[in-house]
């Protein structure tokens, strides 16, 4: 259900087509909530049927048309209500840590590759999130600039700071996973010998 609230958050800035939303989603909300286009478009149609969005045909290109979505007052009320609800934590489904619990079944070379891939992935994500913070601070993030333009001046700093705070939390989580991966490499070496002896 969080997908619809992510879409409502984006549409609270300005009306957008499904195509525009998918692009904006990928460059902003997708950092904290992944959803492919195959989920976004059906959810938009469903939200329009429920009255959370208003759908209208707009011109697209020389002869084409697309559906543009606009958040309704009912949609804004639903988003505010969602923000007041406590978060429901889902049970863990973590294939990396599950696999780590059984690394004794893997050859040391494969075990090292698993850990290195984990380190590389979280390093890449950490760097992406750090770049996002730089954009937020510098005022070069397009979506944030549009949101700030539609936000009362008294609320603009809060708008920026909460987003920076979010990415700082993601960076801290990534750094924890990087350090865990490095400890995993050391553990694999201590239990199976240096690289080259048994790989």
* Inter-residue contact 10 to 16 (CB < 8 Å): yes
- Find where tokens 């891939």 sit: 117
* Inter-residue contact 67 to 52 (CB < 8 Å): no
The pTM is what? 0.82
Q: State the Cα–Cα distance between residues 149 and 142, nearest whole angstrom.
A: 11
* Inter-residue contact 171 to 134 (CB < 8 Å): no
Tokens of 192: 């199976």
pLDDT exceeds 70 at position 197: no
| pLDDT, tens digit, 9 for 90 and up, residues 16-68 | 998 888 888 877 776 777 888 888 999 999 999 999 999 999 887 788 889 99
Confidence grade of residue 199 (pLDDT, cut at 50, 70, 90): very low
Sign of the four-CA dihedral 10, 34, 20, 52: negative
Nearest alpha-carbon partner for 70 in 47, 42, 43, 38? 47
| pLDDT, tens digit, 9 for 90 and up, residues 130-183 | 999 999 999 898 888 888 888 889 999 999 999 999 999 999 999 999 999 999
| pLDDT, tens digit, 9 for 90 and up, residues 117-140 | 999 999 999 999 999 999 999 989
Q: State the Cα–Cα distance between residues 190 and 125, nearest whole angstrom.
A: 28
Q: Which residues of 55-78 are buried (b: 16+ CB within 10 A; e: fewer)?
A: beeeeeeeeeeebbbebbeebeeb
The vertex-82 CA angle with 95 and 131, nearest 5°, equals 55
132: Cα within 13 Å, side-chain hemisphere: 27
């Amino acid at each position: 259900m969080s997908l619809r609230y992510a879409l409502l958050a984006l549409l609270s800035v300005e009306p957008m087509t499904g195509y525009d939303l998918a692009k904006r989603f990928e460059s902003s909300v997708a950092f904290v909530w992944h959803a492919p286009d195959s989920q976004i478009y059906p959810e938009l149609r469903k939200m329009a049927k429920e009255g959370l969005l208003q759908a209208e045909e707009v011109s697209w290109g020389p002869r084409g048309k697309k559906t543009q979505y606009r958040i309704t007052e009912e949609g804004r009320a639903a988003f505010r209500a969602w923000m007041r609800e406590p978060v429901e934590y889902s049970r863990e489904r973590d294939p990396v840590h599950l696999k780590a619990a059984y690394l004794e079944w893997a050859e040391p070379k494969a075990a090292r590759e698993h850990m290195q891939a984990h380190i590389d992935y979280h390093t890449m994500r950490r760097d992406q999130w750090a770049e996002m913070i730089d954009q937020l601070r510098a005022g070069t993030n397009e979506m944030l600039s549009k949101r700030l333009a539609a936000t009362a001046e008294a609320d603009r700093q809060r708008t920026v700071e909460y987003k920076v705070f979010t990415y700082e939390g993601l960076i801290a989580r990534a750094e924890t996973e990087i350090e865990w991966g490095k400890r995993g490499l050391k553990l694999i070496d201590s239990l199976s010998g240096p690289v080259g002896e048994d790989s």
